[in-house]
Chain A
């Protein structure tokens, strides 16, 4: 198990600005992921944060809009750039441990509720 601290927990931002969300884990993890959950919807995977290299983005998400860093095995950031009201969502950091069958279960941060005016 892991303790995942995600900051900020919520923010209200102006259109056109950027917000960086931080995810800190209390132990080293194998995989770190960023999900988006639009109001009343399910979770959509944005990207896999790779330690020391560029993130792997899912279809429909690009690095210019959602730059991600992962400088080590316990920390990652997601930036939502040039925000518009359509970016209003909950953003969730999740992690898994180990490889193969050990890596099947995801642990989640408490999420960042973003509102863009």
Chain B
């Protein structure tokens, strides 16, 4: 069953701008992760934030987590053409060890 819902479904921005994607989920979680997928191939792990953390940074990535609202956001600063991909949030529910993926946001960086 689907746990996470990203929005927007698709996003096009100019190179150099910041991109923000949001994820909402339904049940209590241990952690929330963001993955990137290029051209329908394998996913690459970007960043993990635990349920007791509120914000985390990794290079140009900034992730926030609001457990009271059951939502997270991924910010990519100073976007580049290579950032064009689909981005998925994934949650590890408290009740079991399964990692469930959201529907994803397709990000397109315009030159």
Interface residues of A (CB under 8 A from B): 4, 6, 31, 35, 37, 41-45, 48, 58-59, 90, 92, 94, 103-111, 113
Contacts and interface: CB of A to CB of B under 8 A. Distances in A.
Interface residues of B, number: 24
A90 B45 CA distance: 18
Q: A-B pairs with the 10 shortest C-beta distances? A: A108-B42, A43-B101, A110-B42, A108-B43, A42-B103, A42-B101, A105-B45, A110-B41, A111-B41, A111-B42
Given A43-B88, A90-B40, A106 B45 contact: yes
A106 B99 contact: yes
A43 B100 CA distance: 8
Instruction: Tell me the interface secondary structure of chain B in the complex.
Output: strand
Given A43-B88, A104-B48, A107-B45, A37 B103 contact: no
A63 to B, nearest CB: 18
Contacts of B2: 42
Given A42-B88, A42-B103, A103 B42 contact: no
B69 interface: no
A111 B98 CA distance: 20
Contact of A105 (B33, B40, B41, B98): B33
Contacts of B103: 41-42
Contacts of B101: 35, 42-44
Contacts of B30: 104
Nearest to B97: A103
